[in-house]
Amino acid sequence: MQVKALLTSVSDMPAVEKISGPEWSSLTRSDNYHIFWLKHGQGLLSIDLQRHIVSTGMIFCIAPGQVFKLDPTISLGGYHVAFNRSFLGNGRERILRALNELSRSTGPMAACLESSQDAELQETFDMMIAECASRDAYTCEILQGMLLVLVSYLLGCTAAAAPPCVSRESRIVCAFMEQIENNFCSRKRVSDYASELFVSPGYLSEVVRRISGYPASHHIRQRILLEARRHAISTNSSARQVADKLGFADSSTFSKFFKTFSGDNFSRFRATGGEI
């Protein structure tokens, strides 16, 4: 299975470009963050098998590990930037957490920009493109500042970014979801997470169900299943190899898990491309 690699390997500098066509119409999996801003046009955005119609004025974020493609239905124009986790520098965990949450939200967000802000955002992108081309002694520091401005615009335009975890229960659920993201390959039981959060498994499941509508075990299974689906549509790894990557004891246990919770077997799911 061929998966696009263009602009998906970013080392010490972000990659910034104007988009003007079907550059992203093939499946892409990246280890970096991607931010798209559509200035005009319309398209169909697929992120981890979920489809969204995107159009003029929309901003959306892709997080590391997500599989996506953007098919234009009306000629697209706008901007795109890709950057790795370390480029923003130390002490930016809150911003990265907000970007991760935004990328897992229900879909792309319509930009809530005044005309002056729209002009400022476009100027920021254009300046980043020019700075990437110049590569002088302070390019890295300048791009860091511009990228923080860009991310601030993005987070400011969306209500879904970093929803507040005010109550104790909300904070527990937020911490639980973050721990799943970091440990789903090695921790598959509710008790594994409960011990890290200094609560009982029963209490954790109750709190998570009350706030999210689903028990804690559901979220763990769904994250594992999501990663399995990503491997199925974006790599040539066998079921045995995927089972090993996801921490299963053997391929038969993984295959049973996949069939039980996805309703399809791994090979058939791959053959259909998840109907993406």
Tens of pLDDT along 143-161? 988 988 888 877 776 654 4
In this predicted structure, what is the pLDDT of residue 3?
Answer: 46
Tens of pLDDT along 40-77? 999 999 988 888 899 988 888 888 899 999 999 988 99
In this predicted structure, what is the pLDDT of residue 1?
Answer: 45
Q: To which residue do tokens 């911003």 refer?
A: 95
Joined tokens for residue 92: 């930016």
What distance in Å separates the CA atoms of residue 42 and residue 141, rounded to the nearest whole number?
34
**Under 8 Å between Cβ of 99 and 63:** yes
- Is the model's pLDDT at 112 over the cut of 70? no
How many CB atoms within 10 Å of residue 123? 11
**Under 8 Å between Cβ of 155 and 196:** no
pLDDT band at 127 (very low <50, low <70, confident <90, very high): very high
What are the structural domains of the chain?
15-156 (2.60.120.280), 168-275 (1.10.10.60)
With the C-alpha atoms ordered 121, 122, 124, 129, is the resulting torsion angle positive or negative?
Answer: positive
- Is the model's pLDDT at 248 over the cut of 50? yes
pLDDT band at 11 (very low <50, low <70, confident <90, very high): low
- CA–CA–CA angle 98, 7, 180 (5° rounding): 35
What distance in Å separates the CA atoms of residue 198 and residue 172, rounded to the nearest whole number?
10
- Is the model's pLDDT at 231 over the cut of 70? yes
Conformational region of residue 5, where left means phi above 0, alpha means psi within -120 to 50, and beta covers everything else: alpha
Q: Mean pLDDT, the chain, as a whole number?
A: 85
